[in-house]
Amino acid sequence: MRRTNFNYRQLAVLAARTFPLIWGLVCVAVWGCGSKPSPRLYRRSQLLMGTLVEIKVVTDHQEKADRALEAALGEIKRIEELMSRSRPESEIWKINHSAGRPAAISRELASLLEDARKIGESSAGAFDVSIGALSLLWGFEEGNRSVPPTPSELAQASRQVDYRKIELLSGPQVVIPPRMRLDLGAIAKGYAVDCAINTLQSYGLTGALVDAGGDIRVIGRRADGKRWHIGLQNSRDRDKISATIRLADQAIVTSGDYERYFIYQGVRYHHILDPKTGYPARDCQSVTVLANTAAKADAWATAIFVSGLEKGAELASKVSDIEVVIVDITGKIHYLSPALEGRLQIAQEGSG
């Protein structure tokens, strides 16, 4: 039998050289051995501004996610307390109850009212934040009406609506005529979404989604690196989607006749009111607007819905930095911005 002679010194040197390499490979395979953790999706939701607010963030640090999510929800709550027409501590409530006299306001609210005035002018009054008297009369937010107001009631309330009579003064201060009531419902929620996004970015987050009852804005991408996948709700079946689109660094808002409404004698009465007639706007089922901010998308979705099919399509083609989908009362797409062709995926019939 042949005997093998071991050189123990050489074996020891080989083991000393090889063991760290093998152990390092094991560490990487099993534990990651200190490598940077992969980004994950963290989310939180809360009832705010009369709707369910959901926020999603992408990060590899749970503690950062927790702090950012809490701060972003707190920012939306702050905007609700600032701009609610039903909270006595809000600036809007104080303006409405000081009608006829100057009311001191924050620079933040003054800036938003100025933006609202510009959209009111650009839309020929289809967007009007002085619509509060009509909103209160119809009572959609409170859900306390199942019969339309009388023509005389509508005529009286309509006389209090005219955004051109809102005076912004230095200070800043604002003056509205007696009996006028401001209602920022068609822009405040989008603005709150923007404020939440700004808060998340201040925490260094580059991937996030904020959804306040359909007012949505995204930044960056999902944890898997893909664009955010957004579904547009079917106007007549809340369990289905009518189309989908993928977004990054954009806002999307839909105004529809299915959000708050009642049926009376076979007619649908919904909350998107025409400031000129006092009645719900009639031509559209929904209008979806994409823009760089949720406030802009929110306001223009209402303005185009109220403007109707032809005037709305004209506005959609003229306003810069927005993309629009107009769905007519039969549920068919009446207008689609050229930039959305190929991006908007229409759902198959019967898909949920």
* pLDDT tens-digit map of 119-165: 999 999 999 999 999 999 999 988 878 999 999 999 999 999 999 99
- 262 pairs with which residues across the strands? 269
Superfamily of domain 40-346: ApbE-like domains (3.10.520.10)
pLDDT at residue 252, rounded to an integer: 98
Domain ranges of the chain: 40-346
pLDDT in tens, 201-236: 999 999 999 999 999 999 999 999 999 999 998 888
In this model, does residue 9 exceed pLDDT 70?
no
Average pLDDT of span 47-68: 96
Q: What percent of the chain stands above pLDDT 90?
A: 83
Q: Full-prediction pTM beyond 0.85?
A: yes
d(CA 210, CA 50): 15
Omega before 37 cis (within 30°)? no
